[in-house]
Structure 1
C-alpha cells in the first residue's frame, strides 16, 4: 500500500524548484555568502535538498538529515535569514509551478522555515520571521 503524496508535485518539479531557488540564493547579497561559506559541492547539496523535499512532499523515505542541527551548527545562520530564504523560495515556486501547487508548497515551506528559525539567533537589529500562514 502506498501513501498518497502530501502535495502532488513530481520529482522533476522538485528538482527544478530547488535549482531555481539555489540560483537565486547564490546571487543574493544576504544568503549568498552564507551558502558560499558552507556548500562546497552544489550538485551534492542540491541532490540532498531534493531528497528533503521528496520526503516532505511525496512522503518518500529518502532523506535522513537533521536540518535544525545543521543550521544551528553552521554558526552564521540567523533566524531572520529565513525571511529572505522564503521570499526567494516563493519566487521559484511561482515561476515554476501552477498557482495551486505553488501555494500549497509555499504554506509547507513557511511552516518548516518558522520551525527552523526557532532557536537560532537574530542578526543585529533584525526581527523574527513573520507568520504568513
Structure 2
C-alpha cells in the first residue's frame, strides 16, 4: 500500500507575504477576538495596552510567516495565569481561520493556519500539564 506523502507547506520567508499582510492579519483577527462573546472578555481583562500587544503579535507572526527575528517574549508563561478551557482555544482557532481565509494570499493562509493549529494544540497540552498535572494527558 502506497501512503500519500504529507503535503508540503509553504516556508516562512519574506517572499511569502508582506509586513502589511501580517499587520492586517493580526489587527483583523484581534478585532474579531475582542468582539467574540467568550474570548473578548478574557482579552479585555488581561491586555492593558492594545497597541503594544498588537505590535508584539505582529512581530510574532512576522517571525512565523516571514522568518524575521524581531519577536521577544514567552507567551506560554503569560497564558498560564489565565483561566482557560478547550472551548476558548477552539474559538480562537476558528476565528483565526476565518481571518486567514480573507487574507487573499493562499500560501500565507496555509502556513498561518498550520502554525496556529500547532500553537493551539501545544498550548492546550502544556496548559493542562501545568495547571492540572494530576490528570495527565489523553493518549
Cα distance in structure 1, aligned partners of 2:14 and 2:114: 12
| 8 Å Cα contact 2:15-2:66 kept in structure 1 | yes
Cα distance in structure 2, aligned partners of 1:120 and 1:13: 30
> What does residue 56 of structure 1 align with?
64
Cα drift, residue 6 of structure 1? 8.1
Could you state the TM-score of these two structures normalised by the residue count of structure 1?
A: 0.80
- Indicate whether 1:88 and 2:79 are aligned: no
User: Aligned residue pairs: how many?
Assistant: 118
| 8 Å Cα contact 2:14-2:67 kept in structure 1 | yes
- Indicate whether 1:40 and 2:48 are aligned: yes
Cα drift, residue 103 of structure 1? 1.9
Q: Structure 2: any 5+ residue segments left out of the alignment?
A: 1-11, 129-139
Q: Which moved more, 1:112-121 or 1:48-57?
A: 112-121
Q: Structure 1: any 5+ residue segments left out of the alignment?
A: 122-133
* Cα RMSD (Å): 2.0
Q: Secondary structure at the match of 1:20?
A: helix
Could you state the TM-score of these two structures normalised by the residue count of structure 2?
A: 0.76
Rg (Cα) greater in structure = 2
> What does residue 116 of structure 1 align with?
123
Q: Deviations over 1:15-63 (max 9, x none)?
A: 0000110110000011001001011111111100001111222221111
